[in-house]
């Protein structure tokens, strides 16, 4: 049973019990009028609506239409024949008028009279009315109502875009918390004139919730620009978030799956904690709301606690959302002292925050970041507060290469023109922020010379920067030691990865064949086919589908009747003739952004003598294809320079 149904049932029960005056809080008048109309029909009563602009509608005679003043309207309610139900839209503006108050009191005290419902966003009731009137709130539209709104909007478009069911669910989830009117306007705005729907639509829809924070200086709305592609490494954290995102789906709710509460990101400064918060919001398709605890603290007694209550109330109204608390350790630093020296205000706020985290039922995912463990209260780290504690360490060799590629590409430099391995080797112990600073400084210096930075420019710039791992060596060491047994690493198997990297850099790996075997044979032996494919792509790069099939064909079934296609257009074939499980394993890690599809000229496949017997297209079309076509692609660890776009999501289809 939906929340709207619950409210209508309560209204029906109160009217049946003889109540004649009721108030319904809502910002969405049309939705309230429609719901009350359904109630009037169920009660077999004639519904009449009054407002300042229209008078009483429907009006059976011209006299009724002239009832524009509140007093005239209320007298008509009192004298109308039985079997009516009245809805008033503007009476909240006249609750200081004594004659209006008197007439409303008389209406409230009339047992079994024609019911009068007052609808509006806010009612400041005088004491005499507050004691005799029942006040209810119309709940915001739920998933099913918003889904219906999206379906209606799509049906009204001249040529609606093709949107997968999973993407429609994300579009619905992104605007929950808005009124039905706001959601409809948002859909109309972002879908107008579109034939293709992608991530930019999600960003625009999520931004619609910014209006809910207008007038607040306690919370800050953050636009979502980053994706998982913008983070170098942290694969363990990315995979974990992908799994948690599914727990917010309608299917999960139907199966009573517990709602994720949040994650605490602990780590060295500049290693991507704040960027991770923004990417988490993007992956969940939730708006990102930032809270600075310093803004809550005020000098007046009780004001700080009241600010926190207001923040939590607003978050419950905005939900679903990600609440980003940056540097939580600084916000609660006064709680790390001995009991007698504890800050009493912070202690009360901390208790309120913990209670809310434990008891809130709205879909709010908390992402808290921290740099210093000594300032974190032990109660906060207890299991059950957060779903997981992740430690974000300094990037390893492979992650540093990824970070260099990201920042060079952003600044118009082709990563293939640089010795990325040398740069990564040179900057061992540097954070992601420090690597970004190296690239940015080198690009600026080169710009003054009207050229692009050289390899030497980047190496020389790196020499000028002393990393935090040296200036704060002891603190970084202590943080790592503390996290070893308490936190989950954001980068999986980092110790093994470092050993392989060290061997690779020292030239101690054996033959090329053995080099392939080390990364991908081990997960294959343990039955982890997706992990084996990932390691193969990492080790090989520029992987064609025939090459992948050939490499795995002696170990697992690779050929069959399955085809890998674009989710946005299933007639665009990426490869066919694959074993179903093998295709699903490839699709899983493309969709999870562990490796990426990169377009390639068909000549690349022709040289290998392996092409599909389908017409091929050199680039994706804006409109859906009328028949099956082949779009040649490679599998790579890096996304295309222009971004993945429609290549982000693929599906597996069975031929025949």
Beta strands 46-51 and 84-88, pairing class: parallel
In sequence order, what are the residues at sequence separation of 6 or more whose Cβ sits closer than 8 angstroms to the Cβ of residue 278? 222, 224, 225, 226, 288, 324
CA distance 626 to 624: 7
Determine the angle formed by the axes of helices 344-359 and 303-318, rounding to 10 degrees.
20
CA distance 390 to 369: 10
CA distance 285 to 21: 41
Q: Give one DSSP letter per residue of 177-241, joined into a string.
A: TB-HHHHHHHHHHHHTT-S---HHHHHHHHHGGGGGGTT-SSEEEE-----GGGS-S-HHHHHHH
* Plot region of 575 (φ>0 → left; ψ -120 to 50 → alpha; else → beta): beta
Give the pLDDT band (50/70/90) at residue 574. Answer: very high
Q: Are the CB atoms for 405 and 637 separated by under 8 Å?
A: no
Opening angle at CA 295, ends 294 and 297, nearest 5: 70
Out of 114-118, 158-162, 370-374, 423-427, which region has the weakest mean confidence (pLDDT)? 370-374
pLDDT at 515: 40
CA distance 432 to 232: 8
The yes-or-no verdict on residue 200 having pLDDT over 60 is yes
Give the pLDDT band (50/70/90) at residue 506. Answer: very low
Determine the angle formed by the axes of helices 180-191 and 29-42, rounding to 10 degrees.
120
Out of 241-255, 269-283, 476-490, 502-516, which region has the weakest mean confidence (pLDDT)? 502-516
Hey, is 551 helix, strand or coil?
Answer: helix
Q: Are the CB atoms for 349 and 397 separated by under 8 Å?
A: no
pLDDT at 26: 87
Task: Report, as an integer, the average pLDDT of 19-30.
Answer: 88
CA distance 45 to 47: 6
> Who has greater pLDDT, 217 or 229?
217
Which of 474-488, 492-506, 553-567 has maximum average pLDDT?
553-567
**pTM for this predicted structure:** 0.55
CA distance 336 to 94: 53
Give the pLDDT band (50/70/90) at residue 577. Answer: very high
| Tens of pLDDT, residues 420-446 | 999 988 888 888 889 999 999 999 999
The yes-or-no verdict on residue 650 having pLDDT over 90 is yes
Out of 27-36, 233-242, 388-397, which region has the weakest mean confidence (pLDDT)? 233-242
> Who has greater pLDDT, 629 or 287?
629
pLDDT at 516: 38
Out of 82-91, 195-204, 463-472, which region has the weakest mean confidence (pLDDT)? 195-204
The yes-or-no verdict on residue 563 having pLDDT over 90 is yes
Q: Residue 221 CB: number of other CB atoms within 10 A? A: 19
Distances (CA, A) of 351 to 290, 363, 372, 381, 493: 20, 21, 21, 14, 37
Dihedral Cα 160, 163, 168, 170, nearest 10 deg: -130
Q: What is the mean pLDDT of the chain?
A: 82
Determine the angle formed by the axes of helices 98-108 and 70-79, rounding to 10 degrees.
20
Could you report how far apart the first and last alpha carbons of the chain are, in Å?
Answer: 42
Hey, is 299 helix, strand or coil?
Answer: coil
CA distance 354 to 525: 44
pLDDT at 141: 84
CA distance 269 to 246: 30
Distances (CA, A) of 66 to 47, 53, 72, 84: 18, 11, 9, 19
| Tens of pLDDT, residues 460-494 | 999 998 888 888 877 777 777 777 777 777 876 44
Nearest to 395 by CA among 596, 595, 235: 235
Hey, is 84 helix, strand or coil?
Answer: strand
């Amino acid at each position: 049973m939906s929340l709207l149904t619950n409210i209508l049932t309560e209204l029906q029960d109160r009217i049946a019990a003889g109540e004649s005056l009721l108030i319904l809080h809502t910002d969405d008048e049309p939705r309230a009028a429609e719901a009350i109309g359904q109630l009037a029909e169920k009660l077999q009563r004639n519904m009449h609506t009054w407002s300042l602009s229209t008078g009483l509608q429907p009006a059976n005679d011209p006299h009724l239409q002239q009832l524009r003043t509140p007093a005239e309207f209320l007298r008509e309610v009192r004298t109308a024949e039985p079997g009516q139900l009245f809805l008033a839209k503007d009476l909240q503006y006249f609750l200081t008028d004594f004659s209006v108050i008197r007439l409303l009191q008389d209406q409230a005290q009339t047992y079994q009279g024609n019911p009068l419902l007052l609808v509006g966003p806010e009612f400041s009731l005088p004491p005499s009315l507050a004691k005799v009137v029942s006040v209810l709130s119309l709940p915001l539209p739920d998933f099913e109502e918003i889904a219906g709104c999206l379906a209606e909007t799509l049906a009204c478009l001249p040529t609606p875009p093709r949107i997968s069911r999973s993407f429609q669910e994300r579009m619905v989830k992104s605007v929950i918390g808005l009124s039905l009117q706001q959601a409809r306007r948002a859909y109309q705005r972002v879908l107008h004139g579109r034939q293709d729907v992608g991530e930019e639509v999600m960003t625009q829809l999520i931004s619609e919730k910014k209006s809910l924070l207008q007038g607040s200086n306690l919370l800050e709305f953050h636009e979502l620009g980053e994706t998982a592609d913008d983070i170098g490494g942290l694969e363990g954290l990315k995979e974990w978030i992908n799994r948690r995102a599914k727990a917010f789906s309608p299917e999960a709710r139907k199966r009573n799956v517990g709602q994720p509460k949040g994650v605490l990101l602990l780590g060295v400064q500049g290693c991507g904690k704040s960027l991770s918060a923004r990417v988490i919001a993007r992956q969940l398709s939730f708006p990102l709301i930032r809270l600075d605890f310093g803004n809550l603290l005020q000098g007046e007694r009780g004001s700080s606690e009241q600010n926190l209550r207001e923040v939590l109330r607003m978050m419950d109204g905005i939900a679903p959302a990600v609440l980003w608390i940056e540097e939580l350790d600084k916000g609660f630093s006064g709680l790390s002292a001995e009991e007698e020296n504890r800050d009493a205000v912070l202690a009360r706020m901390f208790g309120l925050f913990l209670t809310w985290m434990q008891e809130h039922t709205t879909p709010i995912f908390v992402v808290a970041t921290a740099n210093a463990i000594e300032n974190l209260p032990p109660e906060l780290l207890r299991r059950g507060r957060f779903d997981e504690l992740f430690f974000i360490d300094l990037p390893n060799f492979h992650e540093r290469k990824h970070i260099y590629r990201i920042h060079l590409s952003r600044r118009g430099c082709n990563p293939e023109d640089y010795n990325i391995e040398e740069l990564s080797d040179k900057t061992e112990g540097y954070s992601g922020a420090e690597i970004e600073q190296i690239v940015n400084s080198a690009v600026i210096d080169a710009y003054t010379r009207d050229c692009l930075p050289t390899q030497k420019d980047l190496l020389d710039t790196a020499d000028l920067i002393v990393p935090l791992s040296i200036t704060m060596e002891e603190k970084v060491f202590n943080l790592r030691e503390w996290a070893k047994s308490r936190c989950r690493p954001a980068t999986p198997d980092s110790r093994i990865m470092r050993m392989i990297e060290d061997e690779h850099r020292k030239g101690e790996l054996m033959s090329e064949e053995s080099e392939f075997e080390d990364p991908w044979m081990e997960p294959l032996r343990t039955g982890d086919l997706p992990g084996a494919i990932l390691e193969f792509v990492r080790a090989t790069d520029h992987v064609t589908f025939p090459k992948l099939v050939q490499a795995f064909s002696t170990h697992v079934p690779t050929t069959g009747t399955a085809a890998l296609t674009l989710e946005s257009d299933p007639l665009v074939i990426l490869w066919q003739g694959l074993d179903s499980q093998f295709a699903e394993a490839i699709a899983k890690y493309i969709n999870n952004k562990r490796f990426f599809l990169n377009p390639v000229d068909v000549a690349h496949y022709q040289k290998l003598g392996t092409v599909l017997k389908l017409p091929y297209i050199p680039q994706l079309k804006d409109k859906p294809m009328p028949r099956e076509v082949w779009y040649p692609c490679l599998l790579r660890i890096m996304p295309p320079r222009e971004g993945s776009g429609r290549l982000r999501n693929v599906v597996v289809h069975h031929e025949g």
